[in-house]
Amino acid sequence: MRLLRLLPFLLLLPAGAVPITPGVVVPEVDNPTVYDPPPAQKLKAYYEALARSGSAEEAARFEGDIYLILTRNPSPTVTFLLESANLALEADDTETARKVLTRLTEIDPNFAEGFARLATIAYDDGDLVQAEALLKRALRLEPRHFAAWTGLGLVREDLGDFRGAKEAYQEALFYHPYLDGAKRGLMRMEARLDGLSL
């Protein structure tokens, strides 16, 4: 079984590992030296820039900017738990990571990244139904989460829901037109569905 965390989804990068791209377009104000747009505003600008990217290299910069915001949390406790889960996963201690991430989602049930990361563990465990449910919850919280859409496509593909997988990959590419995992998944599903229709 393919592992979600081995795909280029950025789901398991350490929080803060990718720098913000300089020069991103954000709303201008009279005194920009004292204005720092709120994360939601920055995120919107980065998603718009990502959709307009002219190359995979340009898209990768905005992908990193988006991920950096998605992994931020105002709670020091949640931040600590997220970093602890990263360390546990790097050490292949999935049981500790699962417990830590479950606690994280209990503390902040509105933090999409917590559910997205729990989904990777459920997938690796072979619990596709749970992985799908967790990814759907993450997407209810952050509908533009292209990594979660790609993960959902992979889960549905393994469940045999090829049309659902195709739709998920298409959603991922709507937000990130250069996401390699989604592009490959979409090609697989189009070939599969074309074969079924013959």
Per the CB < 8 A criterion, the answer to whether 135 and 158 are in contact is no
pLDDT greater than 90 at residue 11: no
pTM: 0.83
Kindly list the distances between the CA atom of residue 81 and the CA atoms of 87, 101, 107, in Å, as whole numbers in the listed order: 10, 7, 10
Q: Per-residue pLDDT for 159 more than 60?
A: yes
Inter-residue contact 70 to 24 (CB < 8 Å):
no
pLDDT band at 57 (very low <50, low <70, confident <90, very high): very high
The band of 37, judged by pLDDT with boundaries at 50, 70 and 90, is confident
Band (pLDDT 50/70/90 cuts) for residue 20 is: very low
- A 10 A CB-CB count for 48 gives 12
Supply the pLDDT for residue 36: 72
99-137: pLDDT as tens digits: 999 999 999 999 999 999 999 999 999 999 999 999 999
pLDDT on residue 38: 85
Domains of the chain (ranges, CATH numbers) = 74-133 (1.25.40.10)
Burial pattern 114-137, b for ≥16 Cβ within 10 A else e, equals bbbbbbbbbbbeeebebbbbbbeb
For residue 54, CA distances in Å to 83, 155, 172 come to 33, 29, 17
pLDDT of residue 71: 94
Here the tokens at position 166 are 């195709």
Q: Is the pLDDT of residue 16 over 50?
A: no
For the chain, what is the mean pLDDT?
A: 86
